[in-house]
Amino acid sequence: MASGGEPPPRRIQRVLTWIVGGVAALLLALAATGLLATWFITRQVEARYPPAGRLVPVAGGHLAVLEAGPGEGRPSRGTVVLLHGASANGMDPMQGFGRRLAGDGFRVLAFDRPGFGWSDRVAGPEAASPAVQARLIAEALGAMGVGPATIVGHSWSGALAAALALDHPERVSGLVLLAPALYPWPSGVVPGYAGWYRSGLGRALLWIATRTIAAPLGLAYLDRFAEAVFRPEPLPADYVDAARVPLALRPAAFAANLQDLDGLYGFLVGQSRRYPEIAVPTTIVAGDIDPIVRTAVHAVPMAQAVPGARLVVLPGIGHMLHYTATDTVVSEIEMVAALQRVGSD
């Protein structure tokens, strides 16, 4: 070693320290950028899509509900309650077919499920259970003086609508299930939604991701995600904005969506055994090429399990049938509502 020179190990250690420090500084800068971007996106989304209905008090918070059609106390053809699927809010079914039903004389209520849209995530992580969400929605319907009503559930909310009929039959006079998730599926895993966040480290990573990268990345790819859900039909040009889809990118809603999807399989293992107990007029409508919720796994066995259930399988239709086969959906809902009126005469 030359006189006065620095020992090689010490020099290497110093270089490594610089590298680690530089990487840490870069990560902190990226995190700070992500936090700022998420804050900005959240504020912009909430400003563009403010509450459009009313907030109904329930134990522990409020549920948001959109309303259309004849008001309380006015004659109507009946009340229809719309329950949206994953990554959505009450405006999705309201825009798809709710306003059409309202124009036909029905009182229509479209709920933001707990943690979505402008509804509180009442009960926290426990609200991932369709049974808990059913309890909260039944409570809100009671507070509004509604029931029994026709319950329409799309996708994830097929399980929720069934839970309402099983656990709160006083609020349900009929069921219409659209592309519904109702049974445990063969893989048991929702692609991209494995329960990695359940560990302490996973929860920490989820907290960081939802507040830094989820909103910016989600916003960048939102149209592609929507196109995938609509396949094989084309995405309507105004769907993302009209259905207020960006509300799902906010940190709390993103986490709630992940929890709901991850917990659904386990819940359906138990609930699916109870479907023969459903005792109201029930219609299941599904597309024969739905790539997201397989008709053969969910809709077909449900029609066999529920006494008197009607199954309508639409050829060439995918998952978003309430937008791509609206006439059929509205017709089937009106048929179920008519059966209820006949039964009450």
The string of DSSP letters for 162-212 reads: HHHHHH-GGGEEEEEEES---S--SS---TT--SGGGSHHHHHHHHHHHHH
**The pLDDT of residue 234 is above 90:** yes
| Omega cis (within 30) before 232 | yes
If you count them, how many residues does the chain have? 345
**The pLDDT of residue 315 is above 70:** yes
Q: What is the pLDDT of residue 180?
A: 98
Q: What is the pLDDT of residue 59?
A: 94
Q: What is the pLDDT of residue 344?
A: 46
**The pLDDT of residue 343 is above 50:** no
**The pLDDT of residue 84 is above 80:** yes
Q: What is the pLDDT of residue 5?
A: 62
The residue extents of the domains of the chain are 51-184+263-344
Q: If you average pLDDT over residues 29-48, what whole number do you get?
A: 76
- As a whole number of angstroms, the distance between CA 69 and CA 54 comes to 15
- As a whole number of angstroms, the distance between CA 278 and CA 14 comes to 71
Q: What is the pLDDT of residue 192?
A: 46
- As a whole number of angstroms, the distance between CA 274 and CA 306 comes to 9
Q: If you average pLDDT over residues 246-261, what whole number do you get?
A: 92
- The tokens for 237 are 């040009």
| Omega cis (within 30) before 148 | yes
**The pLDDT of residue 316 is above 80:** yes
Of 25 and 170, the structure prediction assigns the larger pLDDT to 170
Q: What share of the chain is helix, strand, coil (3-state, %, to 5)?
A: 55, 15, 30
**The pLDDT of residue 283 is above 90:** yes
Contacts (Cβ under 8 Å, ≥6 apart) of 48: 246
Q: Encode pLDDT of 107-134 as tens digits.
A: 999 999 999 999 999 988 899 999 999 9
Confidence of residue 1 (pLDDT cuts 50, 70, 90): very low
Of 25 and 334, the structure prediction assigns the larger pLDDT to 334
Of 14 and 298, the structure prediction assigns the larger pLDDT to 298
**The pLDDT of residue 36 is above 90:** no
Contacts (Cβ under 8 Å, ≥6 apart) of 13: none
Residues of the chain above pLDDT 90, percent: 68
Looking from the CA of 225 toward its CB, the CA atoms found within 13 Å total 15
Confidence of residue 142 (pLDDT cuts 50, 70, 90): very high
CB 307 within 8 A of CB 279: yes
Instruction: Tell me which residue has tokens 């229509």.
Output: 108
Q: What is the pLDDT of residue 345?
A: 37
Contacts (Cβ under 8 Å, ≥6 apart) of 70: 76, 105, 106, 107
Q: Which of 5-14, 252-261, 334-343 has the lowest mean pLDDT?
A: 5-14
Q: If you average pLDDT over residues 47-64, what whole number do you get?
A: 96
Q: Dihedral of the CA atoms 225, 291, 88, 35 (nearest 10)?
A: -40
Strand partners, 154: 178
Q: If you average pLDDT over residues 10-22, what whole number do you get?
A: 62
Q: What is the pLDDT of residue 320?
A: 98
Q: What is the pLDDT of residue 103?
A: 95
- As a whole number of angstroms, the distance between CA 251 and CA 39 comes to 9
Strand partners, 285: 178, 312
Confidence of residue 169 (pLDDT cuts 50, 70, 90): very high
Neighbour tally for 54: CB within 10 Å = 13
**The pLDDT of residue 195 is above 70:** no
| Omega cis (within 30) before 50 | no
> In 3-state terms, what secondary structure has residue 106?
coil
Looking from the CA of 253 toward its CB, the CA atoms found within 13 Å total 23
Q: If you average pLDDT over residues 265-290, what whole number do you get?
A: 97
Confidence of residue 22 (pLDDT cuts 50, 70, 90): low
CATH number of 51-184+263-344: 3.40.50.1820
- The tokens for 163 are 């839970």
